[in-house]
A and B are shown apart, each in its own frame.
Chain A
Amino acid sequence: DAGITQSPRYKITETGRQVTLMCHQTWSHSYMFWYRQDLGHGLRLIYYSAAADITDKGEVPDGYVVSRSKTENFPLTLESATRSQTSVYFCASSPGPWHYEQYFGPGTRLTVT
C-alpha cells in the first residue's frame, strides 16, 4: 500500500538490548524524520535525513543511531535500550525541506523494561 509504514507497531524489550524500528515510505520523499512522543513533552526530533546517505541530529539524538541506504527506508536503532527510551516513536516523510508538509507514520509504541 502507498504511504508511510512503521514496524513493529508495538515492542517490549529489556534494558541493554538493541532494538531497531523500521520506517518505509512509498512516495519517494527525499526527507525523512524520527520523532519521539512523551507525555508532557509533545514531539521531539531525534534524527532526520535529507536524502539517502545524508543524516543529521535533531533535538534528542543520544542513544540512537540511524542509517539511510535507500530513499524509502529510514531505520532507527537503539543500541542499548534504556527505560528512558520508553516512548511512542513516529516516523515522518516530506517531499522537501522544513516548509513542506510532513506526513506521519502510525507510530511504534516501545516499552523498555
Chain B
Amino acid sequence: ELKVEQNPLFLSMQEGKNYTIYCNYSTTSDRLYWYRQDPGKSLESLFVLLSNGAVKQEGRLMASLDTKARLSTLHITAAVHDLSATYFCAACMNYGGSQGNLIFGKGTKLSVKP
C-alpha cells in the first residue's frame, strides 16, 4: 500500500529565509506531483516530476525527485508572504493493468511572516 508522508505539517517562516518541505512515499512511484492550495480555494498544480533526478523550478520554488530514496523535496528560496498556502505532494500508485491512484500527503501549511 502506498503511503505519502509530508513534513513538516506546519511551517512558519520569516520572509527572506530558505526552507525545504519533504515528501516521502512508501512504495515505487514513478511520478510525483506538487500542488498549492490557498485557504478556501482549489488546488493549483505546481510541478509534475516524471523521472528520477527530475528538477523543476518556478520562481522561488524548486522541486526535485529521487525515486531511489522515494523522496521529493520542495525548496523555498527567500520566502515572501505571497507563498503562504498549503502545499500538497501526491504520488502515483500503479496497479497492474490499471491507471493507478494519486495518493496525497496531508499537506504542509506554510505561513510566511514579515
Contact = CB atoms under 8 A, between A and B. Distances in A.
Interface residues of B, number: 25
A102 B101 CA distance: 12
Interface residues of A, number: 25
A93 to B, nearest CB: 12
A46 to B, nearest CB: 10
Contacts, number: 56
A76 B48 CA distance: 27
A94 B88 CA distance: 18
B100 interface: yes
Most buried by A among B30, B48, B104: B104
B106 A41 contact: yes
Nearest to B98: A56
Interface of B is mostly: strand
Nearest to B90: A43
B45 A101 contact: yes
Q: 5 shortest A-B CB distances, which residue pairs?
A: A42-B104, A104-B43, A43-B104, A42-B106, A104-B42
29 contacts: A33-B102, A40-B106, A42-B4, A42-B88, A42-B105, A42-B106, A43-B43, A43-B102, A43-B104, A44-B104, A45-B101, A48-B99, A48-B101, A50-B99, A59-B101, A59-B103, A97-B99, A98-B31, A98-B102, A99-B31, A99-B50, A100-B48, A101-B33, A101-B45, A102-B33, A102-B102, A104-B42, A104-B45, A105-B42
Given A98-B100, A99-B30, 14 more contacts: A42-B4, A42-B107, A44-B104, A48-B99, A59-B103, A97-B99, A98-B31, A98-B102, A99-B31, A99-B50, A102-B33, A102-B102, A104-B42, A107-B42
